[in-house]
Amino acid sequence: MAEIELQDIRKSFGAVEVIKGVSLEVKTGEFMVFVGPSGCGKSTLLRLIAGLEDITSGRLLFDGELVNALSPSKRGIAMVFQSYALYPHMKVYDNMAFGMKLGGSDKDEIRKRVLKSAEMLQITPLLDRLPKQLSGGQRQRVAIGRAIVRDPKVFLFDEPLSNLDAALRVATRIEIARLHESMHNTTMIYVTHDQVEAMTLADRICVLRDGIVEQVGTPIELYERPQSLFVAGFIGSPQMNFLSKQFAEPYRAHTLGVRAEHLKVDRNGATWKGEVIHSENLGADSYVYVDIGSQDPICVRQSGNSTFHPGDRIGFSPVSDKLLHRFDVSGRPLGA
């Protein structure tokens, strides 16, 4: 139960400034995802919030209180690490109980909380095992369980799914989402480079690039109304198609963006025509890549199996003009 406020946070490592003035508010109970390409500073920002790194300048407030100088264990946070970071020589029970033991809690109180947390994550049968006897997914659940036991005001996740294989990633993602639903008073901040995780888990997303905030908003806001070329190209898979020069001019924009799923094949009166250079059939959808003479091939989505092959000539048009994104020379969106 904490509202987190970042006021002009800056972080430098020596002479290199990594976080360049981030101001942000995370509402109580919100699931906020920090997302961005490698090196954008999202992990650093998380660690600043955790207290594992010093803030170079700026203020960090939890529920209105300045916490810059507080050590992590006093901030009321819990953290789930990318590599789980379980204590290898301790059994699962002891891993989860460690924090409370250090805090001098009563043994019965500890037992109660550990069992409750284990129950929540369905890891009760694993309590007597050592981490090395567990699978990756189980270890991650123990890591989350350890965090729950701390009864934190803020949950911090540092790319927790990166080390899991694809199927496990989806399953654990769902568990995290359910966790958030059952603990709706606990603020959660989640760092990932995977925009699918961001879109599916977040109440709000904060897109970071090069140490600054590009945009903050709900997943839908970012998808429908990206405030910069960068966000438009980062959110949504496959990446938004960008057209420039002679293709964007008719729309009075420097750059025109349109998503693959907002294009439809048009036999008559197609807006753009070109030659198919590649197609990907994924079962439920297909993606056809067309060379229309622009810098990059355009990706068009088709339902089901595509009937197009490399070499075919194809025409396509936007589904609706309202779904086109127009950007000016500096990458800012032009009026609707």
Size of residue set near another protein by CB under 8 A: 36
Tell me the closest approach of the beta carbon of residue 99 to another protein, in angstroms.
Answer: 4
The one segment of 46-54, 111-119, 199-207, 272-280 that binds another protein by CB under 8 A:
46-54
* Least CB distance to another protein at residue 81 (A): 5
Give the pair of three-digit tokens for residue 236: 């949504």
Q: CB nearer to another protein: give 56 or 239.
A: 56
Closer to another protein by CB, 59 or 264: give it.
Answer: 59
> Which residue has 């769902």 as its token pair?
174
Of residues 126-155, which lie at the interface with another protein (CB under 8 A)?
Answer: 146, 150
Contact 291, 277 (CB under 8 A): yes
In the bound state with another protein, the residue whose beta carbon lies nearer, of 79 and 263, is 79
281 lines the binding site for another protein (CB under 8 A): no
Nearer to another protein, 151 or 275 (CB): 151
Choice from 1, 37, 54, 116 touching another protein (CB under 8 A): 54
Q: Strand locations in the chain, DSSP E? A: 4-13, 16-26, 31-35, 57-62, 65-66, 77-80, 154-158, 187-192, 204-209, 212-217, 241-244, 255-258, 263-265, 272-281, 285-291, 298-303, 313-318, 325-327
Q: Which of 20, 39, 56, 273 binds another protein (CB under 8 A)?
A: 56
Among 237, 114, 121, residue whose Cα is nearest residue 174: 121
Query: Segment contacting another protein (CB under 8 A): 48-56, 109-117, 184-192, 230-238?
Result: 48-56
Closer by beta carbon to another protein, 71 or else 246: 71
Minimum separation from the CB atom of position 160 to another protein (A): 12
Q: Select 73 or 237, whichever has its Cβ closest to another protein.
A: 73
Enumerate residues 67-126 that contact another protein by CB under 8 A.
Answer: 68-74, 77-79, 81-83, 85-89, 98-99, 102-103
* H helix or E strand, kind and range, residue 145: helix 136-149
Residue 26 sits at φ, ψ, to 5 deg, of: -115, 120
Would you state the structure tokens that stand for residue 148, as one six-digit string? Answer: 């729950």
Distance CA 294, CA 104 (A): 66
CA 92 centroid distance within chain: 28
Pick the binder of another protein from 22, 55, 110, 222 (CB under 8 A).
Answer: 55
Task: For helices 136-149 and 92-102, give the axis angle rounded to 10 degrees.
Answer: 20
* Residue among 78 and 258 whose Cβ is closer to another protein: 78
Cα(46)–Cα(321) distance, integer angstroms: 39
Taking the complex as a whole, the smallest distance from the CB of residue 157 to another protein amounts, in Å, to 13
> Which amino acid would we find at residue 77?
I
Residues contacting residue 313 through CB under 8 Å, at least 6 positions apart: 273, 274, 275, 276
Q: At closest approach, how far in Å is the CB of 70 from another protein?
A: 6
Amino acid found at 97? A
Task: Using the rule CB under 8 A, give the single segment among 45-53, 163-171, 236-244, 262-270 that binds another protein.
Answer: 45-53
Considering the complex, state which of residue 124 and residue 163 has its C-beta at the smaller distance from another protein.
Answer: 163
* In the complex, minimum distance from the CB of residue 80 to another protein, in angstroms, rounded to a whole number: 9
CB of 7 to another protein, least distance (A): 6
* Alpha-carbon torsion, ordered 224, 227, 232, 233, to 10 deg: -170
Closest to another protein by CB, 74 vs 252, is 74
Looking at the DSSP bridge assignments, the partners of residue 38 are: none
Number of Cα atoms under 13 Å in the Cβ half of residue 115: 6
Residues that bind another protein (CB under 8 A): 7-8, 50-52, 54-59, 66, 68-74, 77-79, 81-83, 85-89, 98-99, 102-103, 146, 150
